[in-house]
Each structure stands twice: as structure tokens, then as C-alpha cells.
Amino acid sequence: MAVDLEKILRPVDHPYPPYPAKYMTLASGETLVIRQATRDEVPTLLKHVAPLVFVERDYYDLVAARVYAELLGWYHYRMQDEYVLVAQIDGELAAIVNGRSVTGKQGMSLHTLAMRRGLRIGAHAFAAKMEYHIDILGQDEVLVVAESPIGFRRWMIEYQLEERFDTPHELGGVPSYALTKELFDRARSKLVVGRRPVPEDLLAKAHEAILPPSDPPTPPADLLAATRAKYDLTGTALILQRWAQDRSADDA
């Protein structure tokens, strides 16, 4: 009986082709490898995503929490046709991007989570995701939304996305935007970079282990100070601080 119920709960993935790994030189001169992660690597990824759930700035908390859930969903076979790409520098995790296929012709971008900033790693990883949907999977368009103003500005305006407001996005049910093949082709020369095949030693290093990010985003230094700021960009009103206060009240 239990086995039969699992059959109902577990979606059947379609046999989509894998993402061919690529590499590129970053502004720092370091080499970034972008490759598809395997389901076995999810526990390692979760370990590196978890601390970001408590970074109450730039929507890192919300995005990390959702990525955590999506990774778990994939790991426990509760999400259909999901894939995860990782960007690594010398093995170190620099970004995670994920998405899924809605149909054979339509993809859905889920998240872009950058662990190192200032080198456009998020932009490279996002472009790789779009490349996967349009070029490798041969889809016509990818549905995109953004949680953060930074993401909105970058994707919606840089790529000039089309409105698909009749289609609610799986992330919060908000109206979708779409990156079509035509728009992608127009942005391709400017935004999609990388070389293939990845030299064997680089690829081996990337597969060997997903190392922790060396300089990940951290929570605000002084939570109390942050509440006194007039604009709380994240809008989360410092959940952590409230917890801390509640705890001390319980102790008393």
C-alpha cells in the first residue's frame, strides 16, 4: 500500500537532455564552471543554502528559503522536471540556479542565488539557465518573475521580457513575464558567454566536491540598528530580532 501511495505522490520526470557544462573567465581572472548538479549533491547544497535563510537583506532570506524548499522537493521526488545548475570557482560554490519545464515547449525559471557578489556570477548563471531552456531543451519561452528589485531590474529590463500576465507564476502566483526565443537571440551576443568543452581537470575539480562559499552574504551586523533605518528594503521587519526578544521574554 505504502509503495502504491508513493507512486501517486512521486511525479514522473520527462527524459530531458542534460545541460552541457561550460566555463568562462571572470573579471577577477578566476575561472567559473557552470554545470548541472545531481540529486545526490542536494544535501551538500542545502548545507550552503541554509545560512542564507537568515540573511535579512536583498531578499536573500526569501530566495534562500524557497531554494531550500525547491531543492528538498527535488530530493524527495516532489517536484516534476526540476533541474539545478551550480556555478563553481575551484570547486567553491558561487551560485545556484534552478528551474523546471512546464511543458516541452515552455520552461519556468525558479531562482538565482549568488553566493559571491561583484563579479556578475548571478548574471552568468541566469544566462546559463536560459540557454538550457531555449537552446538545449528547445523550448519557445521561459516564464520569469523576480522577488527582488535588483532581479526585476536586471532580468525584466535587460532582456526586455514580454508580459504573460494571464499566467500566474509558480512563485507566489504573481503575473509572469516571458523570455522568448526571439528575445534571447537578441540578448545572446551580449549576455550569454562561456566555452565548451570544459577542460577535464576543471570539470573533475568541480565534480570532486561542492566546497562552501568563501565569502557568502551575511546577516546585518547589528539587528537593532537595522530596525531603526526608515526603509527596510527586505520588508521582513527583522524576524530574527523578534525571535530573540520573544526568547528573552520566555526566559524571564
Partner 1 sequence: MEREIFGYKCQKCGTLHYPFRMVCKNCRANGYFEFDTVPLPHAGKLLTFTFIHNLPAEFEVARLGLGIVELENGLRVTGQIQIDDPKLGMDVVGAIEVVKRDAYDNRYGFVFRAA
Partner 2 sequence: MREVYIIGIGITTFTRLEYPLSEIAAYASMGALKDAGLTDVDYLVVANMGSARINSQSALASAVADTLSLTPAGAVRVENGPASGASAIKEGFMAVASGMHDTVLVAGAERMREVNSLEATDFVATLTHPMAEYIYGVTLPGHAAMFTRLYMEKYGVTERHLAMVGVKNQNNAMLNKDAHLHQPISLEGILDSPEAMTNNPWVAEPIRFFDCCPVSDGGAALILASKEVAEASGRPMIRISGIGQATDTLAVHEREEPTDLMAVRRAAEQAYAMAGIKPKDIDVAELHDAFTILEIVESEEVGFFEKGKGHIALEKGETEIGGKMPINPSGGLKGKGHPVGATGVAQVHEIVMQLRGDAGERQVKGAKNGLACNFGGFGNNVIVSTYTREG
Give contact residues for partner 1 (rule: CB under 8 A). Answer: 157-158, 160
Contact call for residues 100 and 108 (beta carbons, < 8 A):
yes
193 interacts with, out of partner 2, partner 1, none, CB within 5 to 8 A per kind: partner 2
Binding residues for partner 2, total number by CB under 8 A:
32
Other residues' Cβ atoms within 10 Å of the Cβ of residue 65? 15
Question: What's the rounded Cα separation, in Å, for the pair 161 and 177?
Answer: 6
Q: Give the nearest distance from C-beta 218 to partner 2 in angstroms.
A: 10
Contact call for residues 10 and 179 (beta carbons, < 8 A):
no
Question: What's the rounded Cα separation, in Å, for the pair 165 and 175?
Answer: 4
Contact call for residues 112 and 151 (beta carbons, < 8 A):
yes
Exactly one of 5, 229, 249, 252 binds partner 2 (CB under 8 A); that residue is 229
Q: Give the nearest distance from C-beta 23 to partner 2 in angstroms.
A: 9
Give whichever of 7 and 230 is closer to partner 2, judged by the CB atom. 230
Does 28 engage in binding with partner 2 (CB under 8 A)?
A: yes
105 interacts with, out of partner 1, partner 2, none, CB within 5 to 8 A per kind: none
Contact call for residues 60 and 68 (beta carbons, < 8 A):
no
Other residues' Cβ atoms within 10 Å of the Cβ of residue 89? 23
Does 235 engage in binding with partner 2 (CB under 8 A)?
A: no
Q: Could you list the residues that contact partner 2 (CB under 8 A)?
A: 24-30, 57, 118-120, 123-124, 149-150, 153, 190-195, 220-222, 225-226, 228-231, 233
